[in-house]
Amino acid sequence: MRTIKISLWGLLALLTVLWLAAEPSVFQWAGYFTLRGSMVQYSGVIAMGCMSVAMILALRPRWPEKWFGGLDKMYRLHKWLGIAALVVAVIHWFWAQGTKWAVGWGWLVRPQRGPRPVPESPIAQLFMDLRGSAEGIGEWAFYAAVLLIALALLKRFPYWLFYKTHRLLAVTYLVLVFHAVVLTKLDYWTAPVGWVMAPLLAGGTWAAIVVLLRRVAADRRVPGRIAAIHYYPGVRVLEAAIEVPRGWPRHKAGQFAFATSNAAEGAHPYTIASAWNDTDRRITFVVKELGDHTQRLRETLQVGQAVTVEGPYGCFTFDDSCPSQIWVGGGIGVTPFIARMKFLAASPERPPQTIHFFHTTHDYDEGAIAKLTADAAAAGVRLHVLVDARDGRLDGERIRAAVPEWRDASVWFCGPAGFGQALRHDFATQGMPVDRRFHQELFAMR
């Protein structure tokens, strides 16, 4: 989370400083309308900067994954950049339209303007000629972007509709790029703020085109076939094994992938619940019935069905040198730990670590727990299963009581976000350096 905050606020601070360098007169009061012009420019720079970085992150680039700590963190930044762009775009719209309303209602008097200066170059003349069109279509693109971003933030909005409508943001972004290029002060493009904004807009434009062509991560997609399906009714979980005979670049335990079984529904992210084996070449996904899509999988998936798998992604890979690890899997958050246990069981040389695995669950299925217990025994992992109705809630105090060496351990958490944040805060208050030793999967892609 710290990297996400640094990246978001760092981008806002960078664009602000560069804009102030290009517009130092903003600190000198020259009347409301002069201030309004400056604020329209500033809010436009911030909104388009945030939208551009969000568009680039939508391509799921590999190179920043280590810096952010995984694609899940990059998607969280993508979300917050979208929210920031929405808020600042509303402010931008209010500075532009609110002033016009105030003049129309007689609250403000627009100063008399003389004739516009004659453009000094053909480019300036072109931008002046396009100004009216850029303002008009930019306003409608703003309304569309507000609606689409708001829908993306609604958890109750069906995923298949989100998948279709969210892609339309690429169209609105391209319109807003035209709006921004035409209406941004020409002097900015020869200043440092323009040197930063130009590649951001170019990168965002390229990303929007890739999204519209449905080529996001196309080089990381491999064909697969469902080889086996098993359903655990007690926990409402479906386990699907997918054969990927060629192209899969291996994966580390704890990583995830996007799987597409229905083109209309789009790709869904699932944590991989199996270790890689070159002789078997299968990937196992364990999916809990939580939403409209996952509740239908039991009826729609069939053995032999073709699927597409994209990945692998993520840095939740258990890589550290601590003498002990504490794993906490809440509900379906058990999946990365299943993969790790299978990896440890198959490894001739295991890391010299003591591992305590706390699996807390509301639902209970005897078959699923028996399989988990067998995996833990084969991997040499100390398993603690807590059923909410029987054992009560898991908290930091119970973990520390069961793991006396917790001060020298790292914590790996996958489960409900609120539960993870509560545990992180609890361990932080007890002196654990959580920025280095508390690892949490932010498995929410919208």
CATH number at residue 158: 1.20.120
Give the integer Cα–Cα distance in Å for 387 and 393.
8
Cis check: omega of the bond before 312, within 30 degrees of 0: yes
Give the integer Cα–Cα distance in Å for 224 and 247.
10
pLDDT band at 175 (very low <50, low <70, confident <90, very high): very high
Q: What's the confidence (pLDDT) of residue 279?
A: 86
Q: Find out whether 234 and 366 touch, Cβ atoms under 8 Å.
A: yes
Q: What's the confidence (pLDDT) of residue 434?
A: 92
The sign of the dihedral angle between the CA atoms of 173, 176, 181, 184 is: negative
Give the integer Cα–Cα distance in Å for 228 and 316.
26
Within-domain flag for 445: no
Give the integer Cα–Cα distance in Å for 434 and 424.
7
Q: How confident is the model over 293-316, as pLDDT tens digits?
A: 777 888 888 999 999 999 999 999
Q: Are residues 259 and 174 in the same domain?
A: no
Q: Are residues 194 and 266 in the same domain?
A: no
Residue with tokens 């829908």: 151
Compute and round to an integer the Cα radius of gyration of the chain. 26
3-state secondary structure of 281: coil
Q: Are residues 153 and 7 in the same domain?
A: yes
Q: Facing residues of 270 across strands?
A: 257
Q: What's the confidence (pLDDT) of residue 446?
A: 61
Q: Are residues 78 and 200 in the same domain?
A: yes
Q: Are residues 244 and 341 in the same domain?
A: no
Q: Are residues 202 and 294 in the same domain?
A: no
Q: How confident is the model over 126-155, as pLDDT tens digits?
A: 778 788 898 899 999 999 999 988 888 887
Q: Are residues 119 and 256 in the same domain?
A: no
Q: Which two tokens stand for residue 260?
A: 């597409």
Q: Are residues 203 and 244 in the same domain?
A: no
Q: Is 396 left (phi over 0), alpha (psi -120 to 50) or beta?
A: alpha
Give the integer Cα–Cα distance in Å for 252 and 261.
23
Q: Which two tokens stand for residue 278?
A: 């070159």
Within-domain flag for 108: yes
Q: Which two tokens stand for residue 101?
A: 């309303």
Q: What's the confidence (pLDDT) of residue 170?
A: 94
Mean per-residue pLDDT over the chain, rounded: 89
Closest among 152, 442, 160 to 292, alpha carbons compared: 160
Q: How confident is the model over 334-370, as pLDDT tens digits?
A: 999 999 999 999 887 777 889 999 999 888 888 889 9
Q: What are phi and psi for residue 108, nearest 5 degrees?
A: -130, 150
CATH code of residue 306: 2.40.30.10
Give the integer Cα–Cα distance in Å for 275 and 380.
16
Q: Find out whether 269 and 204 touch, Cβ atoms under 8 Å.
A: no
Judged against a pLDDT cut of 90, whether residue 87 lies above it is answered with: yes
Q: What's the confidence (pLDDT) of residue 66?
A: 87
Within-domain flag for 319: no
pLDDT band at 105 (very low <50, low <70, confident <90, very high): confident
Q: Are residues 308 and 385 in the same domain?
A: no
pTM of the model: 0.88
Poorest-pLDDT segment among 21-30, 90-99, 322-331: 21-30
Q: Are residues 115 and 150 in the same domain?
A: yes
- DSSP of 20-59, one letter per residue? HHH-GGGGS---HHHHHHHHHHHHHHHHHHHHHHHHHHTT
Q: What's the confidence (pLDDT) of residue 121?
A: 74
Q: Are residues 196 and 228 in the same domain?
A: no
Q: What angle do CA 55, 58, 60 make, to 5 degrees?
A: 135
pLDDT band at 264 (very low <50, low <70, confident <90, very high): confident
Judged against a pLDDT cut of 90, whether residue 92 lies above it is answered with: yes
Give the integer Cα–Cα distance in Å for 237 and 287.
5
Give the integer Cα–Cα distance in Å for 8 and 10.
5
Q: What's the confidence (pLDDT) of residue 385?
A: 93
Q: How confident is the model over 36-84, as pLDDT tens digits?
A: 889 999 999 999 999 999 999 999 998 888 888 889 889 999 999 999 9
Within-domain flag for 423: yes
Judged against a pLDDT cut of 70, whether residue 317 lies above it is answered with: yes
Judged against a pLDDT cut of 70, whether residue 114 lies above it is answered with: no
Boundary (domain end) residue, out of 147, 180, 212 = 212
Q: How confident is the model over 186-235, as pLDDT tens digits?
A: 899 999 999 999 999 999 999 999 999 999 999 999 999 999 999 888 88
Q: Are residues 233 and 100 in the same domain?
A: no
164-171: list long-range contacts, CB under 8 Å, 24+ apart.
164/266, 166/446, 167/211, 167/212, 168/144, 169/145, 170/55, 170/207, 170/208, 170/209, 170/211, 170/212, 171/208, 171/212
- Residues 6 or more apart whose Cβ sits within 8 Å of residue 428: 434, 438
Within-domain flag for 318: no
Boundary (domain end) residue, out of 268, 294, 313 = 313
Q: What's the confidence (pLDDT) of residue 118?
A: 65
Give the integer Cα–Cα distance in Å for 419 and 384.
17
Q: What is the separation, in whole angstroms, between the first and last Cα of the chain?
A: 16
Give the integer Cα–Cα distance in Å for 192 and 367.
62
Boundary (domain end) residue, out of 162, 187, 212 = 212
pLDDT above 70: percentage of residues in the chain: 97
Closest among 203, 288, 301, 303 to 243, alpha carbons compared: 303
CATH code of residue 333: 3.40.50.80
Within-domain flag for 446: no
Within-domain flag for 392: yes
Closest among 139, 267, 155, 253 to 211, alpha carbons compared: 267
Q: What's the total number of domains in the chain?
A: 3
Provide the residue range defining the domain that includes 342: 324-440
